[in-house]
Amino acid sequence: MRVIIDASNVAHSRKNDEDRPCIDNILAAVEELEKLGYEPVIIADASLRHEIDDKERFKKLLDEGRFQQVPSGTNADHFILKMAEEEDAKILSNDIFREYTDEFQDINSRRIPYSFRDGKILIGTSGKPKKVKNILQKICNEALREFEKKRIDSYRVKRGKKLSGIAIAREAIERISRSQEEGLEPKLEGIFMKLPLFEKFMSMVEEVERTSNYIIFVLVHPRDYRDAIKYAGNIAVTVGDRLKLDHAPLVAVRNDIFLKPGTFELNIMYSEDVMEEAPHNVNITINDHDYSFVKKNSRNIASTIAARIGSWRFPIVSVKPSMLLEKPGEFEVVLEKGGND
């Protein structure tokens, strides 16, 4: 089993008298992992070479290929997590990588914690892997990654907030107020699915896009969809009045399989950034074990993807079983050109 050493995290865990990260921490980790039968791989971010206590030895180990350094300007945490996922490796680090839990599932089962005691490093154990209960999230994550490869941005949830009408309105007011000063992030700050209550209103989407500057996509767990719809009209009026907007924003609610019941997230977009149709449809090939469950949730998958890439209409999501995928949890995702093109 390969173990990627998060060199910056390990080096900074104990500093020398001059408050500099120590190279000996890294070397001690290498030695201990090798004793335990692991194959260590040392990955350092670009700034560590300037901070480490023994720059000459660090450079020598880099030149010899014993240490690896991520390219300047590259996020080392993301690089390490991606490498671990691709190589099915563990990670020695006390960083819990909280900001990456949406993109990389089950980080806790990959991460090995450690501690220093009496000058020696003690290697901990990683958490137990989660069961394949998150297969819908895994499929959506893979589909969103495929969209991103085609240069289509996607919104990634950070942490759901407790669901209520007033909480949604307050969050929308705060974000739109901030956007008026700083601008929204490119492409995505919110998300959503067509509301039955707004059927007539939403059939006039072209007129909405001409008159409303903002689209507020409200992301909720499927169980909370009906309750969230009840808030939509009041939220639009409240946000429009409080911010003195010329036109009230359109509020659209979408089922989102990443959200926990009782929580919500907002993806707030400029109207002109919303795509009328998803540019690609999603073909899912799945094992026989999970086929029925994934097929049953195909509309929730479509809703989640449409909301996160900023598409007004859902992509077509097709699900088919394959005897070549034998194990529970196995699947493949392929995008197929869709939309108007």
Planar angle of CA 155, 157, 158, nearest 5 degrees: 130
Per-residue pLDDT of 29-60, as tens digits, reads 999 999 999 999 999 998 898 989 889 999 99
Per-residue pLDDT of 228-241, as tens digits, reads 999 998 999 999 89
Helix locations, the chain, DSSP H: 7-13, 23-35, 48-51, 55-63, 76-87, 135-149, 165-182, 199-202, 205-211, 225-242, 288-296, 298-309
- Ranked by mean pLDDT, which of 5-14, 79-88, 270-279 comes out on top? 5-14
Confidence grade of residue 100 (pLDDT, cut at 50, 70, 90): confident
pLDDT for the residue numbered 104: 78
Distance CA 57, CA 48 (A): 13
Confidence grade of residue 339 (pLDDT, cut at 50, 70, 90): low
Per-residue pLDDT of 279-331, as tens digits, reads 999 999 998 878 888 998 999 999 999 999 989 899 999 999 998 887 778 89
Segment 82-102 shows an average pLDDT of 88
Per-residue pLDDT of 147-201, as tens digits, reads 999 989 888 766 778 999 999 999 989 888 887 766 555 443 333 333 333 444 4
Q: Which residue pairs from 106-112 have beta carbons closer than 8 angstroms and sit at least 24 positions apart in sequence? A: 106/130, 106/134, 107/81, 110/81, 110/84, 110/85, 112/3
Q: Which one is predicted more confidently, 300 or 203?
A: 300
CA atoms 323, 329, 334, 335: torsion sign: positive
Per-residue pLDDT of 245-276, as tens digits, reads 888 888 989 999 988 889 999 988 888 888 88
Q: Are 222 and 188 in contact (CB under 8 A)?
A: no
For 70-87, give the DSSP string. Answer: PPTTS-HHHHHHHHHHHH
**What is the signed CA dihedral for 127, 128, 132, 138, rounded to 10 degrees?**
20
Distance CA 118, CA 229 (A): 59
Tell me the whole-structure pTM to 2 decimals: 0.56
Count Cβ neighbours within 10 Å for each residue of 59-82 and write b for 16 or more, e otherwise.
eebeeeeebbbbeeeeebbebbbe
| Residues 6+ away with beta carbon under 8 Å from 178 | none
Residue 80: strand pairing partners: none
Mean pLDDT score across all residues of the chain: 84
